Amino acid sequence: MIQIAIMGLGTVGTGVAKVIAENSRQIERKLGEPLQVKRVLVRRFKDGPYRQLMTDDFTKIEEDDDIRVVVETIGGVDAAYEYTKRALMAGKHVVTANKQLVAEKGCELLALARRKNVSYLFEASVGGGIPVLHPLTQCMAANRIDEVYGILNGTTNYILTRMVRTGASFADALAEAQEKGYAEADPTADVEGIDAGRKTCILADLAFGHQVDPDNVPMEGISKLYLEDVKIAERGGYRIKLLGRAVRLPNGRSAYVAPHLIQEDHPMANVEDVFNAVMVKGNATGDVMFYGRGAGEMPTASACVSDVMEVLQSSARRDEINWSEDGEGFVDPAELKNRYYFRIPGSLTIAAADFGEVEVLSEGSETAFLTEPITGREAQAHAERLRAIACLRVLG
């Protein structure tokens, strides 16, 4: 019998207990022994199927030598960071879905895990149930990863899908997402791109091998997106999607989150509702895309339990899950070149005076057009000069 503990019995923590119970036969067949949840750390005791396992005393987990793996599904940094460090110090493997903790403290926690000869795994922290970190670090290990980008937040993708399909404004689509339980009461982390930004940092850390500090990564969400631009883009053969993007550059690496126009025949443009997708560009593989449910109780729990099984089956030295603390070489994404979409007050003549030839998407009292590739810095200067109503990147 292999015993584990779960810290935090919310959506994902409950899912972890359910997956272990529902799939006990398959799990036992693969591990050669039954897997059992021995303890569940909670703040408040609640009635339910796990009442007997609950404790609010972390030392009951820390000091129990029978508990070999701890699943952290508390979220945030404070308590989760403290307990994760103590569990690793006590020689236990830790598995988590907590992207904030991994993005901010992952490097330190991985180093501690290595010193204690245990594992710290976090497949569920990016893309929920979609296996992406494991393929990125193992199956694509023979590649130089040049770029990773993706739709990394299901809530914002649902909102954007509703704006396109029903013509709802951002505010109405957000209210609908909240009604359906896809968006939190406080949706800031989702709609302002912070959640996608943390996941982008983890992807960049693993793809490029150096710490990308979330504080350096510009995170622009969709709260300032106008329905008008969604409609103009749609008529012109583009969809607007919130992308997290990490790029290898000759002089370092860069990362950011922002809404992008994507041509409608691009596979990313057709990722709809709460689905997520991640595109990885390897120098040998070319483009590889991962697609699936990026959140939710059971998909996220599936990734956590698979990590639990992995730490129990393989050696603790997972050297490919690693990156250096050295954050040198982070290039301001304003230096990156992209085509840009502008909507400006006034006629095409005004746009032409600034840009020369442009691809016009809509003309009238306002003009919407696409530019040739320019840097983010140049785009910003044009946007200010032309008093642009909208200025968005175009993918590709």
Ligand X SMILES: NC(=O)c1ccc[n+]([C@@H]2O[C@H](COP(=O)([O-])OP(=O)(O)OC[C@H]3O[C@@H](n4cnc5c(N)ncnc54)[C@H](OP(=O)(O)O)[C@@H]3O)[C@@H](O)[C@H]2O)c1
- Tell the residue number behind the tokens 């009461």, with chain if given: 185
> Is residue 9 a contact point for ligand X (CB under 6 A)?
yes
231 is catalytic: no
Of 92, 93, 99, 114, the residue at the interface with ligand X (CB under 6 A) is: 99
> Is residue 295 a contact point for ligand X (CB under 6 A)?
yes
**x/- map, 14-53, ligand X, by CB under 6 A:** ---------------------------xxxx---------
Residue in 201, 288, 192, 183 with CA at minimum distance from that of residue 242: 192
User: Count of residues binding ligand X (CB under 6 A)?
Assistant: 23
Of 61, 122, 128, 371, the residue at the interface with ligand X (CB under 6 A) is: 128
Smallest distance, Å, CB 184 to ligand X? 9
> Is residue 124 a contact point for ligand X (CB under 6 A)?
yes
In sequence order, the 6+-apart residues with CB closer than 8 A to the CB of 181 are none
Among 68-76, 209-217, 247-255, 320-328, which window interacts with ligand X (CB under 6 A)?
68-76
Q: Between 151 and 261, whose beta carbon lies closer to ligand X?
A: 151
Of 20, 71, 87, 98, the residue at the interface with ligand X (CB under 6 A) is: 98
Of 5, 19, 73, 242, the residue at the interface with ligand X (CB under 6 A) is: 73
Of 137, 155, 254, 300, the residue at the interface with ligand X (CB under 6 A) is: 300
Q: Record the tokens describing residue 132, joined without a space.
A: 């992406």
> Is residue 106 a contact point for ligand X (CB under 6 A)?
no
Q: Between 195 and 229, whose beta carbon lies closer to ligand X?
A: 195
Q: Between 123 and 147, whose beta carbon lies closer to ligand X?
A: 123
Annotated catalytic residue: which of 85, 99, 180, 199? 199
Smallest distance, Å, CB 41 to ligand X? 5
Backbone angles phi, psi at 198, to 5 degrees: -65, -40
> Is residue 282 a contact point for ligand X (CB under 6 A)?
no
Q: Between 39 and 93, whose beta carbon lies closer to ligand X?
A: 39
Among 67-75, 107-115, 240-248, 253-261, which window interacts with ligand X (CB under 6 A)?
67-75
Can you give the binding site for ligand X, defined by CB under 6 A? 7-13, 41-44, 73-75, 79, 97-99, 124, 128, 295-296, 300
Q: Which residues are catalytic?
A: 199
